[in-house]
Amino acid sequence: MSVFLLKRFATFAATLLVASVLVFAVLDLLPGNVAQVILGDTATPESIAAMEHKLGLDRPALVRYADWVGGLLQGRTAQSHSYDTPTATLIYERLQVTLPLALMAMVLTLLIGLAAGIFAAARQNRIGDVSVMGLSQLGIAVPSFWFAILLILLFAVKLQWVSAGGFPGWTEEDGGGPWEGFVALLLPAVALAVVQAAVLARWTRSAVLETLREDYVRTARAKGLSRRAVLWRHVLRNAMIPVLTILGLQFAFLISGTVVVENVFVLPGIGRLVFQAIANRDLVVVRDVVLLLVAMVVVVNFVVDVLYAVIDPRLKPSDA
């Protein structure tokens, strides 16, 4: 187990390292001149040189990369040129919207997706199964940002139960509160979750059906266990292994979905931050946000790998 964990951790660290090199290369080396990008086409050579010096671009790329990664490891980040604040401060503020949103969406995805998938599998080829699968086929085809717009149309424009977007903040000083904040994130979370839940439901259904055909399930039934007991005690635990893989992948989609849906609901999260940064040509912010989002995906996949070993004791390090 410890060898397995160590091996996985090494892969995890290596992935992050390669990701940092790639993000740095794409944003810092490829375009030729970041100062030119920031100042636009009309900038004079003198102002470009001054900007390059201000950004530290006159130093070798390797030094700048080491500076960036070394700083990150020590919890130090570069100064955003448009906000004049360290990117870590900006990101920390915005994460207070994005993280709860992603978590709420993940919980909803799990609740809806697993329940629908198990329900459909238990009623294979009957009306319940067919309708759940039909709905999920439709759910997969719906872009989450359009579903978000439809939710706004229904609940904000037609019924006028909620405002069409914006975030009041988590504290009363900001003019909001825990409940107000939760309500503001509810529709965005539903918009994100419905689409992912449709995907999860299909995978859960086929994983459960696959497991139901195993010999040990027949044995359990033969020794007198009820269908329900077999489903809960034997099938679900085994069916969860492929489902976990999908969940890890879904998290990546959820993260990028969050970026889009935040823009639909005008939520001050990471997604809005990165788009404002693109508009302001604030590449330092883009770089740090992209690396953070990649890191989140990598961390979740690392956790999924570890969970495999917990769920399935048969899993040997060599299989992983």
CA distances from 32 to 25, 78, 165, 245 (A): 11, 20, 39, 39
How far is residue 33's CA from residue 28's CA, in Å, rounded to a whole number? 8
Three-state secondary structure readout of 179-228: HHHHHHHHHHHHHHHHHHHHHHHHHHHHHHHHHHCCHHHHHHHHCCCCHH
Stretch 68-127 residues interacting with other proteins (CB under 8 A):
none
Work out whether 6 is an interface residue with other proteins (CB under 8 A).
Answer: no
- Residue of 34, 66, 30, 25 lying closest to 53 (CA atoms): 34
How far is residue 53's CA from residue 60's CA, in Å, rounded to a whole number? 12
Work out whether 206 is an interface residue with other proteins (CB under 8 A).
Answer: yes
The residue count for binding other proteins (CB under 8 A) is 48
13-21, 55-63, 70-78, 109-117 -> range binding other proteins (CB under 8 A): 13-21
Residue of the chain from 153, 161, 218, 316 that contacts other proteins (CB under 8 A): 153
Work out whether 308 is an interface residue with other proteins (CB under 8 A).
Answer: no
How far is residue 8's CA from residue 29's CA, in Å, rounded to a whole number? 30
Work out whether 55 is an interface residue with other proteins (CB under 8 A).
Answer: no
Nearer to other proteins, 145 or 170 (CB): 145
By rule CB under 8 A, what string of x and - marks binding of each residue 257-286 to other proteins? --xx--xx---------xx-xx--x-x--x
Q: How far is the CB of 53 from other proteins (least distance, A)?
A: 21
How far is residue 243's CA from residue 249's CA, in Å, rounded to a whole number? 10
- Give bridge partners of residue 79 from the DSSP assignment: 86
Work out whether 149 is an interface residue with other proteins (CB under 8 A).
Answer: yes
Residue of the chain from 9, 92, 146, 216 that contacts other proteins (CB under 8 A): 146
Contact 254/102 with Cβ under 8 angstroms? yes
Q: Please, what's the largest Cα pairwise distance for the chain?
A: 85
48-56, 96-104, 138-146, 222-230 -> range binding other proteins (CB under 8 A): 138-146
Q: Which residues of this protein are in contact with other proteins, per CB under 8 A?
A: 11, 15, 18-19, 23, 26-27, 30-31, 37, 137-138, 140-143, 145-146, 149-150, 152-153, 157-158, 164, 206, 249, 252-253, 255-256, 259-260, 263-264, 274-275, 277-278, 281, 283, 286, 290, 293-294, 297-298, 301
